[in-house]
Amino acid sequence: MLELKNIKTFYGNIQALKDVSIEISEGEIITLIGANGAGKSTTLMSICGIVPPRSGEILFMGKPIQDMAPNNIVSLGICQVPEGRRIFPFLTVAENLDMGAFLRKDKDEIKRDIEYIYELFPILAERRNQAGGTLSGGEQQMLAISRALMAKPRLLLMDEPSLGLAPLIVKQIFEIIKKINTENKTTIFLVEQNANMALKVAHRGYVMETGRVSMSDTAANLLANDEVRKAYLGI
Partner 1 sequence: MFGFEEIKKSFLTSLWFMFLTFPIMVIRVNTVQNIVEWRWERMFMIGIGSFFLSFLWRYLLERKELGQKKADLGEVDSIPWNRRIAREPRFYIPALIAICVFVLVFPFTFSLYQTTIMITALIYVITGLGLNIVVGLAGLLDLGYVAFYAVGAYSYALLNYHFGLGFWTVLPIGAGMGLIFGILLGFPVLRLKGDYLAIVTLGFGEIIRLVLENWNDFSFGPSGIANIPRPGLFGIQMSLHQATIYLYFVMIFLVLVTIFVVRRLQDSRIGRAWIALREDEVACQAMGIDKTWTKLSAFAMGATWAGMAGVVFAAKTTFINPASFTLWESIIILCVVVLGGMGSVIGVIFGALTLILLPEYLRAFSEYRLLIFGAVLVVMMVFRPGGIVSPERRIYQFKGTAPDKPKAEASTPG
- Number of residues near partner 1 (by CB under 8 A): 43
Residue placing its CB nearer to partner 1 in the complex, 143 or 222: 143
How far apart (Å, rounded) are the C-alpha atoms in residues 169 and 162? 8
**Which residues does 55 contact at the CB level (< 8 Å), separation at least 6?**
6, 7, 8
CA dihedral 79, 47, 205, 142 (to 10 degrees): -30
Q: Does 232 bind partner 1 (CB under 8 A)?
A: no
Q: Does 114 bind partner 1 (CB under 8 A)?
A: yes
What is the CA 55 to chain-centroid distance, rounded?
23
Q: Does 18 bind partner 1 (CB under 8 A)?
A: no
Q: Does 109 bind partner 1 (CB under 8 A)?
A: no
Query: Which residue intervals of the chain are DSSP H helices?
Result: 40-48, 70-76, 93-100, 107-120, 122-126, 137-149, 167-184, 195-201, 219-224, 226-228
Please identify which residue in 69, 137, 171, 183 interacts with partner 1, judged by CB under 8 A.
Answer: 69
Q: Does 165 bind partner 1 (CB under 8 A)?
A: no
How far apart (Å, rounded) are the C-alpha atoms in residues 144 and 213? 27
Please identify which residue in 13, 90, 168, 234 interacts with partner 1, judged by CB under 8 A.
Answer: 90
Rounded to a whole number of angstroms, the minimum distance from the CB of residue 75 to partner 1 is 6
- DSSP-derived secondary structure letter, 230: I
Please identify which residue in 23, 70, 184, 214 interacts with partner 1, judged by CB under 8 A.
Answer: 70
Please identify which residue in 131, 163, 215, 231 interacts with partner 1, judged by CB under 8 A.
Answer: 131
What does the binding site for partner 1 look like in residue numbers (CB under 8 A)? 48, 50, 69-71, 73-75, 79-82, 86-92, 94-95, 98-103, 105, 107, 110-111, 114-115, 118-119, 125-126, 128-129, 131, 147-148, 151
